[in-house]
Amino acid sequence: MKVKNVGRVGAVLLAAALGAAAMAGPAMADPSSATDFRSLTGVGSDTTQDVMNGFGNAYAPNGTKVVASWDARGTSPIKTKATNCVFPRPDGSGAGRQALRASEGENLGGTHGGPGFFNGAAVQGCADFARSSSYGGPTPPATAGNYTYIPFGVDAVGLARNVNGDIPANISFAQVQRVYKCFDTAIAGNTVTPRMIQAASGTWQFWTGKMGITEAEINLGDYSCLARDADSNPATPAQPNLERVQEHDGTVLNNNLNQIVPFSAGQFIAQSNVATIATATGVTVTDRRGQAALTGMRMPGQAIQQPIVGGVLNTAFPLRRDVYNVVPTSKLANAAIDAAFTGADSALCTSTVNVGGTNRSLIELFGFGKRTANVDLLNAACGSTDLKANS
């Protein structure tokens, strides 16, 4: 990685830009103008769309905004570059990574349309990074591959329940896992119905991994509490018992006292701070919490941990993950990508915003934790470029 001149000066400029953005008024999702095409275009994760909107709204070296981040939700298609680049909006980490791969000229197979096509649309050169809340590579994680996963925040994934229901506020991991594996239909005597979120979601990929189930097994009808196989034909996916829901939308639990669904603690915090975020950054976060409340969880032999403590994400929560911006490994030396994302001195890792007279990390304001030292490949410092994969 080359030496960057972002550092302390970059952080000051970014903080000033954030203040100017806030005074200009709230900015909704996606670039504010249909013709606001920027150097770096990103798509993908619902989990990190808000924090990347904040960064894109603020990061403007030499007075020019660099990062355009397109939400997972919204009207479709989107147009990401001045020439061509009209394609279906990618909804979730998996879809975002697919769009990035197609942008690099890969053939995604299936019905996408051939090399450089995503969901039937030509997208070569149309995306520069993918937002991802999960690692899409092998087990164990790799240090070589066509794509580099650059972490910037730490998230916790909790179980959301209806705050007005009787499902306990604190449960064990084993209880949750037994429900999602369809072994149990109740927790502490209370009937429980597990909900699924969209299949392309990084949160769903992370959650199913922790639960010990796979999307392939669900599609085969192996988990009848989630989906049922009507025709015993492996080519026909099992039909969900209840419609899959958009991730981090707690309104699905409104008046559904016995339903549960995985939910990002980072998103829950951001949705709790909509007024502060709008004032400080000029970004509008949609509060979709509804009647949802996050549940404390206990691992075997350990004490209960809450996903959020004092309004801040608990990085000791047992179900935690890094969140990433994924870029082609061949483009790590690209000046714009390097300055924005790579290394502890990157603009994203050093970004701060003034909240009530106190400078706060932009990443933390939007609900995520921040790690400054490498623990391992899946628990890495902000800006690390060690983790890689071919998808």
The total number of residues written for the chain in this structure: 391
- The alpha carbon dihedral of 25, 349, 339, 135 has a sign of negative
pLDDT single digits (tens) 275-310: 999 999 999 999 999 999 999 999 999 999 999 999
Q: Please provide the DSSP assignment of 328-343 as one string.
A: EGGGTT-HHHHHHHSS
pLDDT, tens digit (0-9, with 9 covering 90-100), for 12-41: 445 444 544 444 444 446 887 767 899 999
pLDDT value of residue 14: 53
Interval 119-131 mean pLDDT = 99
pLDDT at 233: 83
Rounded to two decimals, the pTM is 0.92
pLDDT for 382: 99
Residue-level pLDDT at 36:
83
Angle at 246 between CA 245 and CA 252, to 5 degrees: 55
Give me the pLDDT at residue 41, please: 98
Looking only at the bridges linking them, the beta strands covering 320-328 and 239-240 are unpaired
Tell me, what amino acid is at 232? S
Label residue 235 by pLDDT band (50, 70, 90): confident
pLDDT in tens, 156-183: 999 999 999 999 999 999 999 999 999 9
Mean pLDDT in residue range 203-208: 98
Dihedral sign, CA of 77, 81, 84, 90? negative
How far apart, in whole angstroms, are the C-alpha atoms of residue 111 and residue 212? 29
- Residue 91 Rama label (left phi>0; alpha psi -120 to 50; beta): beta
pLDDT digit string, tens, across residues 50-76: 999 999 988 999 999 999 999 999 999
Residue 197 exposed, middle or buried by CB count within 10 Å (0-12, 13-18, 19+)? buried
pLDDT at 196 over 60: yes
Q: Which residue has the higher pLDDT, 176 or 235?
A: 176
Give dist(CA 230, CA 66) in Å, integer: 49
User: For residue 134, how far is the Cα from the chain centroid?
Assistant: 8
Please provide the DSSP assignment of 95-132 as one string. HHHHHHHHHTT-B--TTS-SBTEETTEE-TTS-SEEEE
Picking from 26, 29, 34, 40, the residue whose alpha carbon sits closest to that of residue 72 is 29
Pairing mode, if any, of strands 320-328 and 147-162? antiparallel
pLDDT at 31: 85
- For the chain, the farthest-separated pair of C-alpha atoms sits apart, in whole angstroms, at 63
Copy the structure tokens of residue 240. Answer: 């969900």
CA angle 350, 355, 357 (to 5 degrees): 105
What Å distances lie between residue 126 and 20, 45, 104, CA to CA?
A: 29, 17, 9
Residues 199/244, Cβ–Cβ less than 8 Å: yes
Provide the pLDDT confidence category of residue 10 given band limits of 50, 70 and 90: very low
How far apart (Å, rounded) are the C-alpha atoms in residues 267 and 23?
24
Burial of 382 (0-12, 13-18, 19+ CB in 10 A): buried
pLDDT band for position 217 (cuts 50, 70, 90): very high
- State the pLDDT confidence band at 83, using cuts at 50, 70 and 90: very high
Mean pLDDT of 350-372: 96
User: How high is the pLDDT of residue 308?
Assistant: 99
